[in-house]
Structure 1
């Protein structure tokens, strides 16, 4: 062998190895940063599920820009490609930072996208361009289009998503996560530069300057790529919405649907997908969608463990079907256009889920629409009509009747259930129902408040989680009896039920970041109006409660945390820094912080207690419920409390008296209280939540949720 050829041969053999290492690494970093950035944004926008949808729109948009950059760059000379990549890498490393969480503001897709773009766009373009750029270089060397790299890229993404909630989030704070990620960004940048050098020195000039291959595409093919990509994305985001509405917006809720979505890419583009697998996906999607709609209804979805598994099964079968059809339609040569259209479909799907569909439908219906669209496309494919234009037209036609049925069913549910109001925005879905005895407020799967309507006296009576027998009711009545007037701050408005406790001279400040919640409380419930009529001062403040209290000049006798997203409290309201803000706004003598912690699948007391004790405070947990023998039909009362949990935080010397406020039984044995305290002098530092380190897995009873 000629010695002069040895370095060249070595570089030729090294390129595939470098590519196989760089592609999953870049994908890992690209998807590891998504939950990091999402967590940083949650406090800014009130911890809503819509914030994650906004993040998804941004990252899909960044993916499109990355693919566009690669498609443009791969046509340039190798020297230009290396230079441009290095310049982009320097800009990416120099400009990346976590968005500041110092300023809370009203949520909006545009605001979310802008904050993320300002903090990370060059870095995301660099990472997302890695796979298509390396694919282009391999293609210029005369190799077949390596679609397996697409599977490899999604494998790296999937690993990042799985590791984040169970390992990364629990082990490192956000700042450390960001630092490690920032350092890791140097690796794919160096890998790209090295690969570009190898490409330049191992590829003939003719290959480098070869014109792009011309490949005829059937009419409608590009549109069908876009349709299938958007439909799978909408289905995944629809499932994510339902899960975050139940267990709160956090990485552990995001990872399921998104992980299944990525896994489907990995499998279908691995080269091992077979036709029978596509047929199986069609059958599973059809059966699970039918069962889901029959059992749960077309628009009313209550998520529990069994429903969550069904959602993931639907997401999996829909994603496998959509991506299998995309794999069967992939071009032999024009890979760059194919990748671009898939990325554009992701952007379109994100926009449909976050803005278009919510503006048309006041209920979360996108998941069902996407499933039906994919099923229709699969059935057409199964019949043998593979022409893209035919598949697209027939799939669209088949969706229209289902869409009509959905609209009709939604209207019928509204009429049958006495629905007064449905509204939906980035903060979620709010529904107000009425019957001949009450008005009820719920959002997605959680009831937030109700009001009796039989007469004026009934209207003034607190209900559900806020009755006189509950933790908050007992505390307010005890304090009202000992002082002429009170200042009360409440984070979270709901139906405004706590205003029922306000008396002449009292001031109640309600903080809520969601403008529609304020409208609903004023227009559909009378707690606020009735309280003002008694001479109480009721202030409704549209701001994030934590930030508003930090800026406030008022001192409060009680601060109540009653802000729920789904079945959980936003984590930024329960951190050590947040509690520090609250305690500074409490009356120094005997002020109390009360956290409403009723939840089906989350147990907040250990975290709240440890965090409170780190500030030299004490916390007791109070559970209130009606005894089982008085919950039989005919024995219940409209003002009986719902099973309710409150955590009362105060100075340690107040604890002994507080416990006496909650006897084991009251109301002639009808109501039962259970009080929990921690007597150990040691504080579990791993349970202390801070702005930098808090993990949903600390409070979520995942096993219970998945088996419910």
Structure 2
């Protein structure tokens, strides 16, 4: 995620006398600003989309990519700050004309070798991004501040106030951001996208070079005018005419830029984890983030009203209630709360940031600090959180930061007690109330169908509290979230990796493996061999399929979970699991947690890597039963469901083999996608559904085979049916989750 920061003018700057009116040149600078911002926002989802299949479709691809882009933006701003200040108007444009040629050495954009899949995915991803797009991106990232500085040197009309280019830059940002998921991705293949983007960079380079030449011409004309004066000009004052910002101000800028960045990435990660890791899911939060930025900086220098900050605090408190509710609300409602939270919090922070922007004398320093704050948000979400946290702490941290925005906007505690003691008592009372409402009340209301009503009612109460005691509410929200996380009972294991957050819980006699918000495996503890339950029970589609088919010699499963499929195979059979996250392998192989793998007599092996890519190493026709069960939390593994992916599965399957696909999902109906892929191959298809009774969970599976006879007695089984008539074809170059959205 990258957002270029431009600050409106707060006063005139020193510039050469205006030259003649040249609207064509002004339009040139505006057009260049537009093209540069468009390319900047198109390339981010494009390269992340190219890399997704190689990292298991993980939502962390976007947060790590965002960190990369933010660091490069910081480097670009630092380059502008140093070169314009030290080289001046007669040398800096010449330098940059040479810099524009360097990225041509690495174009067109291409996917590099990604290295060993067992190495650090963050390091591999950052290295791939650097090779793919590093040089072109850092050059384009200089465009916003550099074009404005150049224009101030041209002596053209409004050169003393070049900040109008801010509007064209934002227009280009929105254009590029929205064009990718709606105009580019649906109609251009990835190889076409990277080719056209590379040609776009060439056009941008020519426009930028033309602007640089105009800046040089204006600078030379200004020098000529000054040298032709008969009387020397009075000495210019040394240093800026306005005092430099204090360290406290710079720290406040850093925090106000950091908070929306980490909040946006946290919301994006939640949506990508529970919906789908695709560009459309990245664009929505980024568009909200960018919109709040633009609106805040268009307001002028006025501090936002107290109601803006209090509203942000209340929404954060409501989001905390939803977080405490243990997923009692429907996923659509929870995603809506996340997006509203992002809009309110980002606007409140950006409005306070805009109100404290400096005089243009210190404009480039302001750019640097804001870019550094955004990079810190990317560093926290993309690197530090997966490395040091065993759960998603950055989301509560972002809520805590929003509370800090509301401090000082309400009445201070008064009375006979010390203000700090009164604040502590109020915070304790509110924290207990939040825990009761969130952990007990909403879950209780979910059984009666009205948890959302409880959230709205609680938010109304919190709004009244926030108008008087925002500090107490802030402490209470943060405390309630921390207590709820720390006091989680039954957790036998917790960890966090690049691919997600995991935990193992002991609930009565069941041991449960949870990824994000979705159960990925359950084992009943006790004597004897483990029995398959949850999605894999003998009375559900999986058990029915194994009962209907002859014992397969070689079973391959994409997605390990806790290894439940091992309970369906025995001596003389081969079972291969493909799992991209080594930590999941360690959990499944630990007999103190789960025993499916340790108790089977089958020949079991685990292959660490993306299932689709790893299957290419299998001998053609060597797999009798191939199972796709590789969801990350509830997100759709889009790259595993494309036409090209199914072509690879067909190569691995034996002539009488069967492909079984798990398509259970809370938001999307994936049956038309799998059915379309089967039609493309000319395969027979059956859909098995289970409502879920006792220890078995409701689930939906699709069985496909080149020969209908290979499906055995499933053809006549009452719980298996032909797919519905609707078809939605996905390819590696095009997939639209909106086409399979199911909100019924």
- What is the CA distance between 1:656 and its match in structure 2? 7.6
Establish whether residue 675 from structure 1 lines up as the match of residue 675 from structure 2. no
Which of 117, 126, 130 matches 1:105? 117
Which of 465, 475, 486 matches 2:535? 465
Superposed CA deviations along residues 608-650 of structure 1, whole A, max 9, x for unmatched, are 2222322333333222224xxxxxxxxx522xx3221112121
Q: Partner residue of 1:197? A: 213
- What is the CA distance between 1:146 and its match in structure 2? 4.5
- The worse-fitting range, judged by mean Cα deviation, of 143-152 and 542-551 is 143-152
Q: Partner residue of 2:257? A: 229
Establish whether residue 643 from structure 1 lines up as the match of residue 698 from structure 2. yes
- Quick one: distance in 2 between partners of 1:543 and 1:308? 30
- The worse-fitting range, judged by mean Cα deviation, of 397-406 and 217-226 is 397-406
Which of 327, 342, 353 matches 2:370? 342
Superposed CA deviations along residues 470-525 of structure 1, whole A, max 9, x for unmatched, are 3332222222xx34x62100010011111110122111111101011111112211
Q: Partner residue of 1:9? A: 20
The 5 A counterparts of 1:138-153 are 138-140=151-153, 141=155, 143=159, 146-147=162-163, 149-150=165-166, 152-153=168-169
- Quick one: distance in 2 between partners of 1:151 and 1:165? 23
Residues 145, 235 of structure 1: CA spacing in aligned structure 2 closer, same or farther, 3 A cutoff? farther
Superposed CA deviations along residues 273-312 of structure 1, whole A, max 9, x for unmatched, are 754x543331221111112222431997977111111111
- What is the CA distance between 1:160 and its match in structure 2? 2.3
- Quick one: distance in 2 between partners of 1:37 and 1:454? 49
Superposed CA deviations along residues 62-121 of structure 1, whole A, max 9, x for unmatched, are 211221222233233545444433333333234131324886725532221111111111
Query: Please, what is the CA RMSD of the aligned residues?
Result: 3.1
**2:399/2:478 contact within 8 Å kept:** no
SS in structure 2 at match of 1:171:
coil
Q: Which runs of 5+ in 1 are unaligned?
A: 1-6, 385-394, 627-635, 664-672
Residues 604, 679 of structure 1: CA spacing in aligned structure 2 closer, same or farther, 3 A cutoff? closer
Residues 283, 547 of structure 1: CA spacing in aligned structure 2 closer, same or farther, 3 A cutoff? same
Q: How many residues align?
A: 648
- What is the CA distance between 1:565 and its match in structure 2? 1.8
- Quick one: distance in 1 between partners of 2:326 and 2:212? 51
The 5 A counterparts of 1:414-453 are 414-415=488-489, 418-453=490-525
- Quick one: distance in 2 between partners of 1:548 and 1:677? 29
Q: Which runs of 5+ in 2 are unaligned?
A: 1-17, 228-235, 413-469
- The worse-fitting range, judged by mean Cα deviation, of 403-412 and 285-294 is 403-412
Residues 348, 396 of structure 1: CA spacing in aligned structure 2 closer, same or farther, 3 A cutoff? farther
Establish whether residue 690 from structure 1 lines up as the match of residue 731 from structure 2. yes
- The worse-fitting range, judged by mean Cα deviation, of 396-405 and 330-339 is 396-405
Establish whether residue 500 from structure 1 lines up as the match of residue 567 from structure 2. yes
- Quick one: distance in 2 between partners of 1:278 and 1:21? 36
TM-score by length of 1: 0.85
TM-score by length of 2: 0.81
**2:313/2:406 contact within 8 Å kept:** no
- Quick one: distance in 2 between partners of 1:27 and 1:228? 23
Q: Partner residue of 1:613? A: 679
The 5 A counterparts of 1:230-629 are 230-271=258-299, 275=303, 277-297=304-324, 304-332=331-359, 333-380=361-408, 405-412=480-487, 414-415=488-489, 418-456=490-528, 460-479=530-549, 482-483=550-551, 486-523=553-590, 524-531=593-600, 535-553=601-619, 555-588=622-655, 590-626=656-692
- Quick one: distance in 2 between partners of 1:574 and 1:86? 46
Q: Partner residue of 1:668? A: none
Q: Partner residue of 2:437? A: none
**2:691/2:698 contact within 8 Å kept:** yes
- Quick one: distance in 2 between partners of 1:465 and 1:334? 60
**1:155/1:263 contact within 8 Å kept:** no
**2:580/2:611 contact within 8 Å kept:** yes
Q: Partner residue of 1:91? A: 102
Residues 407, 372 of structure 1: CA spacing in aligned structure 2 closer, same or farther, 3 A cutoff? closer
Q: Partner residue of 1:3? A: none
